[in-house]
Structure 1
Amino acid sequence: MNKILATGLAISLLVGGANAQQPVKTGTKKAAVPSKAAVAAGIPAELKQPIPFDPDVKVGKLPNGITYYIRKNAEPKNRAELRLAINAGSILETDDQQGLAHFMEHMAFNGTRNFPKNELVSFLQSSGVRFGADLNASTGFDETIYQLPVPTDSARIFERSFQILEDWAHNVTMDPAEIDKERGVILEEARSGRGAGQRMREKYFPLILNNSRYASRLPIGKDDIIKTFKPEALQRFYKDWYRPDLMAVVAVGDFDVAQVEGIIKEKFGRIPAATNPKPRLEYPVPPHKDTKIAIVTDPEQPNTMVQIMYKRPEIKEKTLYDVREAIKRVLFNSMIGNRINELTQQADPPFLAGYSNYGGFLGDQDAFSSYVIAKDGNVPRAVTAILDENARVDRFGFTETELDRAKKQYQKAVDRIYRERDKTRSSSYVSEYVENFLKGDIPVSISFYNDFLKKYLSGITVGDVNNLAKQFITTENRAVVIMAPEKDKAKLPTEKQILALIDNAGKNVTAYVDKTLDKPLLPTLPVGAPVTAEKEIRDINVTEWTLRNGVKVVLKPTDFKNDQIIFSATSPGGTSLYENKDFESARFASTLTQMSGIGEYSQIQLGKYLTGKTVNVTPYIGETTEGISGSTTPDDLETALQLVYAYFTAPRKDTEVIKGFLSNQKSFLQNQMATPTPQKVFQDTVQAVLGNYNYRRLPMTPANLDRVDVDRATAIYKDRFADASDFTFFFVGNFKEKDIKPLIEKYLGSLPAINRKEKYRDLGIRIPAGKIEKSVTKGLEPRSTVQLVFSGDFVWNSENTTQVDALAEVLEIKLTETLREEESGVYGVGVNGAYSKIPAQRYTFRIGFSCAPENVDKLIARTLAEIEKLKQNGADAKDIDKFKAETRRETEVQLKQNNFWLGYLSNQYFNQDDPNEILHEAEFLKQVTPESTKQAANQYFGKNFIKLLLVPERK
């Protein structure tokens, strides 16, 4: 159903870089064009039919060539997702334009005919649309996509949003002065992507792509061209490729379809059709008979990674037969993924991480790819292990039980999407229509696909799926990339040795044995205990129950999702209750327990047992709390509660799995310490400084893992979950109290309770007071990173938390204007205002950005100057209005989200705050004024100031 999702890691590994991400695909996509053999074998007539286009989307084409897609969708209410898709990207650049497709995307935000300079961003921010988080764009090799989520309950804002799309399409002004300012921003974006990955990619990309044009047209472009190109080169790209026949407008949301169609026809119909348009060429990745092998190293590469790709022509989906073929690949990927995951459960796993799957690659190519991170740099062992698993499938195939589980899991996933069809968010649809325009991928309705799956899934046999391995694994169009630390260069295998590893893989493999356990999850079902007290909080539709064993349950039934119940539980205590000698055992206790499984079920067996169910339950032990988090469906709620009960009463210790996990973690940390990246060294320093070098805030090392006592970790876990009487459970989602009550009483009412009254322990860890400067010298690239931190004591109340939020937002708006737009010194700047009540009432402001080393002092000075302006004058009223608009719009959406309510309620109860507080947000926002932000700035930007710098090594 989705080949890109399975290969996102492969694409990011190979492409990387700024704005090189590919759009996510949803829905039924590419499958094989019927082969001659298949045709000869005879395809049923019903499967020869073309894939039916989703009838709920209106598709049209204007006389000038612009395609449009419109769909009414009410989730979220009063919102719409708009896209402008251009079938043009960096692959179309001429030699003197490398990087200008991406540059053009930037210029669309820097002035259009109807929105001069930065008025476009300002207008949208004042409408509640956040720049970067909501308003955004991306440039790829073959496409440029503009993203605009907007409110629809304001006719003025909604119609102006289409004006923005139209302006992007043909009214970008490209003021030379704005172009010159944006050069610096682009160069800083490019700077942020530099490092070991980029340096190695420049070496292996041309080889594995067989010198395809893709290898020389990375979207970020070339610095020398960005610095020196003439505006005419950018205008030429805009004129050549931003034209109606290469454009699509996509609108999905809570609106009237006829009205939106009228707006699109009016605004986009007046764009002139292109005259004598340049051909929009396709650039293939040339096939090759041999195996391309790239072995690259870098001084800042921490791990040894290997990717083996079997490339083949992109598979296209046109008929229903193709859809059925695509399902086979989904099942194949699922089953081989499960097998490889089992390899990491051994006492001595052969690699730190790995996968094998079939999916999209690049350009006109698909690929079957295997990827591993070698343990201790042992490439032969890692490669042999992953390829042996591929060969095991090729030689012996999958088992009937594996296929049965894969079918159940996939059908369950599709069933869930079907059940949520009237609650699907607009953002889930827009990418389907963009991909139809760019790639020809046909979006189908979930109703059709669900029916199709139920009709044809059962007919897919083990033999059908097993045949795929022989199609995927071939000797032609094969490519291998090894990326390793420079220090390990001498011990890496040669090209000849790599070929031998690949060609000799699987010679001694035996058939896979599918080990399952056929026992009840709980040998004896608990008796339970009743609800003894009940309280209603009617204003937010919340009910509190207290069970006889002391467990408190907070319930919020919703209709936001049809097939979702999410829950959490929390209790005070956590690792804070244990001395430093037990800290490592305590902080790994829940992880080791979860990896071990429950009762008689190992983690692998538990996964098999849960096939066909949507259940996720995770125990945790934090610094001040322990608890459970989980998600499920109404149908599977009882199973989820059984898991909760088991994690309390039947934790398991799997010595082999634990040994393997700790071994892998230790190897990973050893690699990091042997070849630390600049950002890793810097973040470790930041963490240590802000933690005042407390033992519990120091970076983890292999020595920390040596202090983990498995028996002690097990004992700590049991201790933390020995008493449920101080736990509060929260349930949010589609349930009725009368239906959920018997299950709550049965499983939560039976949890152990010894009525100990615990509290967390305040460890006294604080960000140090006073002025501190710390500089870290690390890195080969000319890039510096800046962190400015203000902190102090805090008075916890809603008024103050709102002022902190406001101050962070208005400062970020102002620093974006100054450091990015005026100084052209950064790509982005982040301001985070945080506050806590537990274990102590504290606040923290963190300001961060990356820049050229020579600009560090200037940009810090400009940042402090903007803070001083806030302290003298307060924030601009227009920036405050933007903060308020963004906050209101965000809250409108959040109030219809289960995840928001679960997090909100758990925080309110843990902090002992009023659950109705969210209803008073408008009152708190009214209190944000220029004067209040002035007072806040003087209060929070005080004497406690830490300046942390990462600067490159001298060459």
Structure 2
Amino acid sequence: MKKSLMILCAFGMWSTVSLSTSAQGLSTQKVPLDPSVKTGKLKNGITYYIKKNAEPKNRAELRLIVKAGSVLETDAQQGLAHFMEHMNFNGTTNFPKNELVNFLQKTGVRFGADLNAYTGFDETVYMLPIPTDSAGLLEKGIQVLDDWAHGALLDPAEIEKERGVVLEESRMGRGAQQRMRDKYLKMILNNSRYAERLPIGKDSILKSFKPETIKSFYKDWYRPDLMAVVAVGDFDVAKVEAMIADKFGKIPVTANPKKRVEYSIPLDGNTNVAIVTDPEYPQNVIQLIYKQPNSKEKSLQDVRNNIAQGLYNAMMGQRMQELTQKANPPFLYGSSNYGDFLGNLDSYTSIALAKDPSSIETALTALLEENARVQKFGFTAPELDRAKKDFMNSIEQAFKEKDKTKSANYVGQYLEHFLHQKPYMGIEAYYAFLQKHIDGVKLEEVNGLAKKYITDKNRAVVIMGPEKSKDALPTEARIRTMLAETGKNVTAYVDDVLDSPLLATEPKAGKITSEKTNEKLGVTELTLSNGVKVLLKPTDFKNDEILIQATGKGGFSLFPGERETGIFTSYMIQSGGVGPYNQTQLQKFLAGKTVSGSPFVTELKEGVEGSTSPKDLETTLQLLYAYFTEPRKDKEVVSGMLSNQKSYLENMRKTLTPDKVYSDSLNAVLTSNNPERRPLTPESIDKVSLDRAVEIYKNRFADASDFVFTFVGAFKLDAIKPLLEKYIGSLPSTERDDTYKHPNIFPPKGQIEKTIYKGLEPKSKVTLVTSGEYDYNPENNIQIEALQEVLQIKLIEALREEESGVYGVRVSQDVDKYPSGHYSFLISFGCAPENVDKLVARSIAEMKKIKQNGADQKDIEKFVAETRRKTEVALKTNSFWINYLDETVFLDDDLEEVLQEDKLLKSITVASTKAAADKYFNDENFIKVVLMPEKK
């Protein structure tokens, strides 16, 4: 949604632009573009955007944007825009066959995770992150983009092989959602061309098109005047500009280019209603769409108008969230937001997820009434004030992080400029503009937007539900009556606010009793007088971010037979708020602050987690202190939440989807149907007790002495210590010796096969699992990681590239240290039912090859490169360190293990992978679970 507050926060993030912007005359001033972005157009028509950015260091983000997607396909080409995207990874002038993927993997670029592309209705975008610290790599990256632009070989043999892959991608997209979408799409898109040109295309064409047909699409639309190159990263701008000019400047201008039609969705003024059901659809969803002509951002007045629009979205979002926090919520989830729709249109869209078919009218009524309420009475002045504070705070944060913003965060803005002429100001210019003009956005202006957005013209209502409940859904006539009558008697919004101190009494500060420093890691360990340990890692990775994690051992494993209450404990506590504030009041109290904090209770641990900025650190610590000492319970809110949850589970059980049946069956096999791992049911909710949850919560948070608090981010040791003494050193302490009771649930031993028959579509799912006992240590852990990656590479090559039998295949591994060492490997993929046996056999054969011969050396090199590159970037992020330190302490591992990675990677050899495969690809403990369509 391009004009939500969230997106406005990313309104550019570049260097200074001088603005002369009086309140008058904004409509005559064009939006200035950030001058730190080097832009240009080659003689042949190719546009380029280049920006130097050092985050992450020695990396660049490259994009090739083609202003051509599925909407341009002829009847005979349906699906070929997307197929063309695939073919650019299957042989180009400088990278024949699969050499492109091989080359990039050796540089540490992962296929799918890093190297990727997508095809939309109007565009195709290729994404390539590339290291810049090795000689020639960046130039090679530019060469890859150039090959994509005009060097696709489109070898008929490769086209034949790729048919199966694309058909499998199409197969995986089939199901209830797709069948229902096909029923209502033409209605909401007013029978426009967009409704007939879904990017996946038609299977009949994908199976039979001639190579000449896709070559025609490539020739017509992959041409210089429809392309842009984007390069953002740690490099010399002039050198990159020269590379782009050298490579792309050689592409000849297209003679007599085919006209690039800009398709539109007509507005006919009507209200259209679609009620669609499906036997495999378990949910009850309402979409209410008010379509509007697209509002282009051309002048500074448009920028200012979009501030009002963002504030509207924020306040409406807050009201919708409040509805879910009431004692009897009208829906499980609801939202109302103005933003992009498709083609030439925007839309104001309200969505609700009802708890069951009988609640659809209740949910739709709530949407209509909330829209009518704001249309009739508008927002209140305190609401607008809070929204402005939140907005300014988010933009101020972006401004403070302007030199620490990752390159990947920029590229989307240049893409929007090329495709949709959306300007990019730069964060400094936008922040200055906002400071000058946000106060001028008055309540009357924002309230007026409701009358613009919510009209009785160009509406679409879509109701989706289970086939079994078709008779319980409202009729079209009933929906039209509700549209005409609902909301006439709404009353004004009542703003539930409280202005009290977060803490009833000032904490009595403790003292730091010991301090140790690990120079290698840059970590300081404090012990406080109440026994709490604190790990501190100050960083300069972000200018305005501090992450907090505190963990104690125990969780609800210490309360046998109370799993259901345990699972919901932290949800119920959070639903009550904290101290004097209920949940809604707390959100309003924190408006304009960067404060996020909440408690958690899981099976094995309990704790609190949060994120904040240096200026709001004390408020965040107060909040976390309050969760320890002043939790609240709200019986009415919890009762409503649990009632909704029970209704939702009852409805899910009535309409069991193939994915749900398969997931539950797989879970039952892998856990030997252990009661502690069974999925929640409506009966589970009956066992949940709020009073008992409060007792469990207070028990687990009564003693902080076994907690380890970890702080990572932008703070100074001397400045943070007094705050730690006050808010953490004062936490309750009984010095009990706690740990968890591990349930010791692992995949069973032996050979197990299970086939589940469920589903209307001709598609299958396969999961293969091998597992066993394990000696947990860093040396074995790195071997298992390598084995997982080389098997993933081999199965993609075998099942996708050679067999053309899958779109994707996933290999994952898991190792446990406690209560005893255990490992498991899991292979999963989707495919045609008739190919299950062949692909399972091929998977097992590839595992046996590694057992017999070890991994290929080239695959080991790919794993090492990918791991080094991934770690190199991760080590410069706060999120990595907060998770690493917290988890390492919880597992009692060596904190310095991360420093051993280079040494550990050198231990990966052909022989070591052979030994690991022989040990861990365990034929004796092998599970195969398959989903097949229902027998007819």
Q: Same fold (TM over 0.5)?
A: yes
Matched residue type, 2:678: L
For the pair 1:27 / 2:8, whether they are aligned, the reply is no
Q: Are the counterparts in 2 of residues 83 and 147 from structure 1 also a CA contact under 8 Å?
A: yes
Q: Are the counterparts in 1 of residues 4 and 338 from structure 2 also a CA contact under 8 Å?
A: no
**SS of equivalent to 1:869:** helix
Out of 85, 95, 99, the position equivalent to 2:79 is 99
Matched residue type, 1:512: Y
Residues 86 and 5 (structure 1 numbering): CA distance in 2 closer, same or farther, change over 3 Å?
Answer: farther
Out of 53, 61, 70, the position equivalent to 1:90 is 70
Out of 255, 274, 278, the position equivalent to 1:298 is 278
Alpha-carbon displacement from aligned partner over 1:26-59 (angstroms, at most 9, x marks no partner): 4269xxxxxxxxxxxx971245311010111000
Identify the residue that residue 112 of structure 2 maps to in structure 1. 132
Q: Are the counterparts in 1 of residues 23 and 437 from structure 2 also a CA contact under 8 Å?
A: no
For residues 792 and 813 of structure 1, the distance between their equivalents in structure 2, rounded to whole angstroms, comes to: 23
Identify the residue that residue 501 of structure 1 maps to in structure 2. 482
Q: CA deviation at 1:841?
A: 1.7
For the pair 1:767 / 2:747, whether they are aligned, the reply is yes
1:191-340, aligned counterparts within 5 Å?
Answer: 191-340=171-320
Matched residue type, 1:154: S
Identify the residue that residue 738 of structure 2 maps to in structure 1. 758
Q: Are the counterparts in 1 of residues 556 and 696 from structure 2 also a CA contact under 8 Å?
A: no
Identify the residue that residue 513 of structure 2 maps to in structure 1. 532
Greater shift in the superposed pair: 584-593 or 822-831 = 584-593
Residues 208 and 402 (structure 1 numbering): CA distance in 2 closer, same or farther, change over 3 Å?
Answer: same
For the pair 1:746 / 2:730, whether they are aligned, the reply is no
Alpha-carbon displacement from aligned partner over 1:213-234 (angstroms, at most 9, x marks no partner): 0000000000000000000000
For residues 615 and 893 of structure 2, the distance between their equivalents in structure 1, rounded to whole angstroms, comes to: 33
Q: Are the counterparts in 1 of residues 4 and 309 from structure 2 also a CA contact under 8 Å?
A: no
For the pair 1:492 / 2:473, whether they are aligned, the reply is yes
Matched residue type, 2:11: G
For the pair 1:844 / 2:824, whether they are aligned, the reply is yes
Identify the residue that residue 3 of structure 2 maps to in structure 1. 3
Out of 613, 619, 643, the position equivalent to 2:593 is 613
Alpha-carbon displacement from aligned partner over 1:64-112 (angstroms, at most 9, x marks no partner): 0000000000000000000000000000000000000000000000000
Q: CA deviation at 1:155?
A: 2.3
Identify the residue that residue 18 of structure 2 maps to in structure 1. none
Identify the residue that residue 19 of structure 2 maps to in structure 1. none
Out of 370, 382, 396, the position equivalent to 2:377 is 396
Q: CA deviation at 1:629?
A: 1.2
For residues 155 and 900 of structure 1, the distance between their equivalents in structure 2, rounded to whole angstroms, comes to: 28
Alpha-carbon displacement from aligned partner over 1:196-239 (angstroms, at most 9, x marks no partner): 00001111001111100000000000000000000000000000
1:532-931, aligned counterparts within 5 Å?
Answer: 532-580=513-561, 582-931=562-911
For the pair 1:118 / 2:75, whether they are aligned, the reply is no
Identify the residue that residue 413 of structure 2 maps to in structure 1. 432
For residues 112 and 491 of structure 2, the distance between their equivalents in structure 1, rounded to whole angstroms, comes to: 52
1:39-118, aligned counterparts within 5 Å?
Answer: 44-118=24-98
In the superposition, the TM-score normalised over structure 2's length comes to: 0.98
Residues 412 and 43 (structure 1 numbering): CA distance in 2 closer, same or farther, change over 3 Å?
Answer: closer
For the pair 1:949 / 2:930, whether they are aligned, the reply is yes
Q: Are the counterparts in 1 of residues 594 and 613 from structure 2 also a CA contact under 8 Å?
A: yes
**SS of equivalent to 1:904:** helix
1:136-147, aligned counterparts within 5 Å?
Answer: 136-147=116-127
In the superposition, the TM-score normalised over structure 1's length comes to: 0.96
Q: Are the counterparts in 1 of residues 536 and 711 from structure 2 also a CA contact under 8 Å?
A: yes
Matched residue type, 2:797: E
Identify the residue that residue 16 of structure 2 maps to in structure 1. none
Unaligned runs of 5+ in 1: 8-23, 30-41
For the pair 1:464 / 2:448, whether they are aligned, the reply is no
Q: CA deviation at 1:3?
A: 2.5
**SS of equivalent to 1:3:** coil
Q: Are the counterparts in 1 of residues 566 and 603 from structure 2 also a CA contact under 8 Å?
A: no
For residues 101 and 314 of structure 1, the distance between their equivalents in structure 2, rounded to whole angstroms, comes to: 25
For the pair 1:360 / 2:340, whether they are aligned, the reply is yes
Identify the residue that residue 412 of structure 1 maps to in structure 2. 393
Alpha-carbon displacement from aligned partner over 1:453-474 (angstroms, at most 9, x marks no partner): 1111111111010000000111
Matched residue type, 1:950: L
Greater shift in the superposed pair: 593-602 or 142-151 = 593-602
**SS of equivalent to 2:615:** coil
**SS of equivalent to 2:235:** coil
Residues 933 and 691 (structure 1 numbering): CA distance in 2 closer, same or farther, change over 3 Å?
Answer: same
Matched residue type, 1:490: D
For residues 286 and 917 of structure 1, the distance between their equivalents in structure 2, rounded to whole angstroms, comes to: 61
**SS of equivalent to 1:351:** coil
For residues 415 and 5 of structure 1, the distance between their equivalents in structure 2, rounded to whole angstroms, comes to: 13
For the pair 1:156 / 2:140, whether they are aligned, the reply is no
Alpha-carbon displacement from aligned partner over 1:529-574 (angstroms, at most 9, x marks no partner): 0110111110010000000000000010000000000010111111
Q: CA deviation at 1:417?
A: 0.4
Q: CA deviation at 1:954?
A: 2.0
1:443-454, aligned counterparts within 5 Å?
Answer: 443-454=424-435
Q: CA deviation at 1:588?
A: 1.2
**SS of equivalent to 1:600:** coil
**SS of equivalent to 1:539:** coil
For residues 743 and 643 of structure 1, the distance between their equivalents in structure 2, rounded to whole angstroms, comes to: 13
CA RMSD, Structure 1 to Structure 2 (Å): 1.3
For residues 438 and 647 of structure 1, the distance between their equivalents in structure 2, rounded to whole angstroms, comes to: 47
Q: CA deviation at 1:586?
A: 1.6
For residues 733 and 826 of structure 1, the distance between their equivalents in structure 2, rounded to whole angstroms, comes to: 43
Q: Are the counterparts in 1 of residues 664 and 679 from structure 2 also a CA contact under 8 Å?
A: yes
Q: Are the counterparts in 2 of residues 762 and 840 from structure 1 also a CA contact under 8 Å?
A: no
Q: Are the counterparts in 1 of residues 556 and 601 from structure 2 also a CA contact under 8 Å?
A: yes
For residues 514 and 668 of structure 2, the distance between their equivalents in structure 1, rounded to whole angstroms, comes to: 46
Identify the residue that residue 175 of structure 1 maps to in structure 2. 155
Identify the residue that residue 503 of structure 2 maps to in structure 1. 522
For residues 932 and 764 of structure 1, the distance between their equivalents in structure 2, rounded to whole angstroms, comes to: 29
For residues 491 and 763 of structure 1, the distance between their equivalents in structure 2, rounded to whole angstroms, comes to: 43
Matched residue type, 2:514: A
Matched residue type, 1:427: A
For residues 375 and 64 of structure 1, the distance between their equivalents in structure 2, rounded to whole angstroms, comes to: 56
Q: CA deviation at 1:840?
A: 2.9
Q: Are the counterparts in 2 of residues 2 and 28 from structure 1 also a CA contact under 8 Å?
A: no
For residues 26 and 644 of structure 1, the distance between their equivalents in structure 2, rounded to whole angstroms, comes to: 29
Q: Tell me the matched-pair count.
A: 926
Matched residue type, 1:127: T
Q: CA deviation at 1:408?
A: 0.2
Unaligned runs of 5+ in 2: 14-21
Identify the residue that residue 511 of structure 1 maps to in structure 2. 492
Alpha-carbon displacement from aligned partner over 1:620-661 (angstroms, at most 9, x marks no partner): 111111111111110111011101110100010011110111
For residues 811 and 851 of structure 2, the distance between their equivalents in structure 1, rounded to whole angstroms, comes to: 16
Greater shift in the superposed pair: 822-831 or 768-777 = 768-777
Matched residue type, 1:171: G
Q: CA deviation at 1:489?
A: 1.0
Q: Are the counterparts in 2 of residues 25 and 432 from structure 1 also a CA contact under 8 Å?
A: no
